[in-house]
Amino acid sequence: MKIIPAIDVMEGKVVRLYKGDPSKKTVYSDNPLEIASKWQSAGADMLHLVDLDATLGLGSNFELIQKMAKSVSIPVQIAGRLRNENIIENALDFSQRVVLGTLAFKDKVILDKLRITYGSKRIVISVDHKDVRMALIQAYYYLGNYKEAANNMDILDPSSAPHSTDATDLLVAIQSISGSL
């Protein structure tokens, strides 16, 4: 088992959104670099750094996340609206992995190019949904288990799934419980 804590960054602070709602945020620290260091000292195997401002289209903490990644010696994976090659390539310059959601499902050409250039081990596919059932359907769908997905959903088009047999990791996030545990 690996311990991979998430550090969500919004407005330069470490936060947690209750069920994904930015109006229901709790600020845990004004010093994200210190939190990254604390998790490393506590024995985390990797950090999952999320730019919530980018995710929500409210701005960017990319430079701060880059500083966080460079401040620790453990691997990091970066998430938060990584939707074009340039920003993904920049993120891979200082992180071991990137987490791709929308892009993975909407642009298989770029996804395949990134896998070829950087290797599948550096790409994590993210399935986010508010509903547990839908998140699992999307996960089955991505993994190519179309029969299981179809048993739970009426119409699926397998050609739209970013399925690849060389995928290494799939991250499933369920917004209806996120930040509530």
Distances (CA, A) of 2 to 21, 22, 75, 180: 28, 28, 12, 22
The tokens for 69 are 């990644």
- Residue from 8, 51, 53, 169 carrying the catalytic annotation: 8
- Residue from 51, 53, 128, 131 carrying the catalytic annotation: 128
8 assigned to active site: yes
Strands 13-18 and 21-29: antiparallel
Q: What DSSP letter does each residue of 102-169 carry, written as one string?
A: HHHHH-HHHHHHHHHHH-GGGEEEEEEESSHHHHHHHHHHHTT-HHHHHHH-S---GGGS---TT--E
128 assigned to active site: yes
Strands 13-18 and 6-10: antiparallel
The tokens for 146 are 């179309």
- Helices and strands (H, E) in the chain, number of each type: 8, 8
DSSP state of 58: S
Active site residues: 8, 128
